[in-house]
Amino acid sequence: MAYKEIARNKAFGGHVVKYEHDSTELSCSMKFNVFLPKESEQGSVAAIYFLSGLTCTEDNFIQKSGALAEAAKHGIALIAPDTSPRGVSIQGDDDSWDFGTGAGFYLDATDPKWAKNYRMYSYVTKELPALVNKQLPIDGSRVSIMGHSMGGHGALTIYLKNSSAYKTVSAFSPIANPVNCPWGEKAFSNYLGSNQDEWKQYDTVELLKKAGDLKIDALVDVGTSDNFLERELKIDTLKETVASLGRAQDWTIRYQDGYDHSYFFISSFIADHIQHHVKYLKQ
């Protein structure tokens, strides 16, 4: 569980620190970034986990989102893990941009070819928090989770499956119904095999149908000019499911006119999302 610091940069009175450690869940070396606000020098602080999308690493969100200023304003830490195991040398894991390296989909693979290494669900929900809470000034009782695209899928499904571990959740352009879109079908059929009941445990729409009386306050933003909106993200399906289940009061789903899938979009609304989390992290 030991980690080493490999980079440190001062930012907004705090520091962005990159760490590296040997992951037991993923059987490889992993890196993650943490923004520690100046308040962390005096004691433990609340934190938001951010899960990134396809092809991203631990750096994209920290460098491009504009989140540091807002997090610093509220004295909140940001934790940004990588999106998949790295350097595991499985045949086929570097063949395409939307599967394998950079595309772990925040699940635990069951297909024998992928099951040893592709365990991003357990890494994000178990191993990384245990490491962070033990060795960094993070208050593990005050954390929340958000993400973008594949990471939005990860944030929403992880929250729905572990709601007691997180104060709240938000997502930018999430893949909301992966069992019914090409990205999800490709990933799930390879990582999980042909049993679609297995797929549903990592699908926001399907998990919502079984959520019972779980109290949720979720914020979702998507751009109307997102090239992936209809084919891959299925936000309309999410909105329809929320309405059919009588959960409209639990979900704020916003279609932002003219915005696309990029970090220009994320940086335009990141302050709203951090403020959404702060409502609960500061209670």
| Positions marked catalytic | 149, 226, 261
Tokens 């919502």, located at residue? 208
E strands of 131-246, at which residues?
A: 138-148, 169-172, 218-223
Q: How far is it, in rounded angstroms, from Cα 249 to Cα 242? A: 9
For the record, the structure tokens of 235 come out as: 């936000």
**Is the CB of residue 230 less than 8 Å from the CB of residue 184?**
no
- Listing DSSP states for 40-70 in one string gives GGTS-EEEEEEE--TT--SSHHHHHS-HHHH
Helix/strand/coil percent split, the chain, to 5: 40, 25, 35
Q: How far is it, in rounded angstroms, from Cα 198 to Cα 110? A: 9
